[in-house]
Chain A
Amino acid sequence: MRLPSEMSLCFYRVAQEALNNVLRHSEAEQVFVTLSVSNGIAQLSIKDTGIGFDTSTFSQGIGLLSMRERLRMMGGEFELESTPGKGTQVTARLHVPVEGAASQGRA
């Protein structure tokens, strides 16, 4: 199934931004990028095995703000989870338009 171009662009930019963050801050040796479409919801997650950070104390930068706003613009959800010493995971979720949800193909 092929996602609409604006959704693809949204996910692609989130992936770019999240991977840039991984390379800049995480010191991770392994990164998992997962893309799935199920029950009308497309989900992209980028999970690393890096140093992580305390989400209650860090200040949100432009990159994170941009990811959040992209998802909000598309009516989707953005989640950031991180534990010091255990890595970080960002997840983006979008509702796939109904007419596209019926067929399963390449994204």
Chain B
Amino acid sequence: MRTEVLLGCLGIESLVILFLLFSSHRGRSANNTLETCYALSKIIAKFSESIAASNFDQLDAIVESGMRDVLELVGAGRLCWYLKQDGSSSLERIYSVLAAGSSPSPSTVSVEAIPYSLECLMKGEILTLQSLDDLPPEAERDREFYRQELIGRLILIPSNCGTASKGVLGIVSAAQGANWPEGFMSQLTVFSNLIVTTFERKHAEQLRRDSERRFRCLFQEAPIGIALEDTDGRLLFVNPALCTMLGYAEEELLGMSCAQFSNVEDHNNELPRLEQLLNGSIEGYRMEKRFFRKDATGIWGRVDISLLQDQSGDPPLVLAMLQDITCHKTAVGELRETKLRLEKLAHRLIQVQDDERSRISRELHDDIGQRLSLFGIELDLLGRSLTKLGYDRKGEQAALLHSQVNEIISDLHDLSHALHSTKLQHLGLRAALRDLCNRISQRHRVAMELCEEGGCGSHQK
């Protein structure tokens, strides 16, 4: 727990630990220490040169080769390199080299297993143990762990070169031995730092490669067309989807200008927005525009345009993403046409209905209405004649029939009026509306109020 708090305080993201486990026989004598230091400095110099000259794929092998050289020089049983990821509760073994007959180091070490050691390392201190008895009483957990791992003598050296990944280098022997000189420690610190920087270089390169692979995959497999253009509109990169959309081979498209396959009108409409993009007043834009395929057929595309700036100061690139919306546009066009046709049909139906209403109204009024009026007059005359001749009952019957005919004529006029208002035709809308309201209020129990400009004038019940 103490170690975790310390880790958090220091903001240290990772650790590198180099374990040197010596074989059970005694180490080299103090007399040849200078010789060993000189040999170690040569190994480190060679290691450093190899790292600088190698490419990404060789880094792991070179690190392990350098570690093996150190292992042989110091006569250790094993040499391991551990990394602690930020927030992780354990140290992860990344590199490991073993002397013949040595058992491998654990692939992970929990931070709780060596709290005392980690606290020292986090402070940047080198932890040197000639024997496990050198550990203070409060380091009981560490002692137990090292004992289980058959470690008798150990040096842990943290890296201190300011990288995001920080490390520790340590030396231990199953058997106890002589003290190591200071010069030896500082050289191993340099070695540890070289491993850390190499690891970081490899890690960064890996991230870059992963990112590039993901981008390439997106670019190649995307269902939408993607192009990178220079600021003059010349295509520098195109993806397969764009080639398919425009019907060109990739080699044909590269070097072509967007204007060559864009509708002139749409292209000219786009220019002001492209100008805004290039002068930085907008970050990107979207528009729908027409393109011509190689076979001269047209397609509709929805394009999203943005700018790709890099840190090198080179001119920016224009990133264009194109979606084929031809089907959508066609469907919208057809829908619009269908709607227009339906509207025309509806309007034609309304006109025909009005014409037919007028015609039927005229027929009812001018023909049937007139004939019924004549019939009513004749019935009236007949009734009067019958009464005069003394047929009173027949005369009354004829009068009744006459009044019924008059009712029919009145209904007929109402129907004719509803079908075609002569008042509307001759006196205008206001008179016709007033007449309509009057008729409704006379026949139904509804109060009608006709309000005209400047207030409600007429009020009928």
Interface residues of A (CB under 8 A from B): 2-3, 5, 8-9, 11-13, 15-16, 19, 22-23, 28-38, 66, 69-70, 72-73, 106-107
Contacts and interface: CB of A to CB of B under 8 A. Distances in A.
B201 interface: no
Contacts of A11: 429, 433
A2 B429 CA distance: 8
B446 A3 contact: no
Given A36-B453, A107-B429, A15 B350 contact: no
6 contacts: A11-B429, A12-B424, A15-B433, A16-B436, A33-B433, A69-B347
Nearest to B430: A107
Interface in B408-461: 418, 421, 424-425, 428-430, 432-433, 436-437, 440, 444-453, 456
Contacts, number: 83
A30 B446 contact: yes
Contacts of B432: 8, 12
A101 to B, nearest CB: 14
Given A8-B432, A19-B436, A32-B451, 9 more contacts: A9-B354, A12-B424, A29-B445, A29-B446, A29-B447, A30-B449, A33-B451, A72-B346, A107-B428
Given A16-B418, A23-B446, A73-B347, A34 B451 contact: yes
B447 to A, nearest CB: 5
Nearest to A37: B453
B350 A70 contact: yes
A13 B440 CA distance: 15
Contact of A8 (B346, B347, B424): B424
Given A15-B433, A69-B347, A72-B343, A31 B449 contact: yes
Interface residues of B, number: 28
Nearest to B423: A12
Nearest to B418: A16
Given A38-B453, A70-B350, A9 B446 contact: no
6 A-B pairs with the lowest CB-CB distances in the bound complex, closest first: A8-B429, A34-B451, A73-B347, A69-B346, A30-B447, A107-B429
A15 B436 contact: yes
Given A29-B445, A31-B447, A32-B456, A66 B350 contact: yes
Contacts of A37: 453
A11 B450 CA distance: 14
A12 B456 contact: no
B455 to A, nearest CB: 10
B431 to A, nearest CB: 8
Nearest to B342: A69
Nearest to A26: B446
Contacts of B445: 29
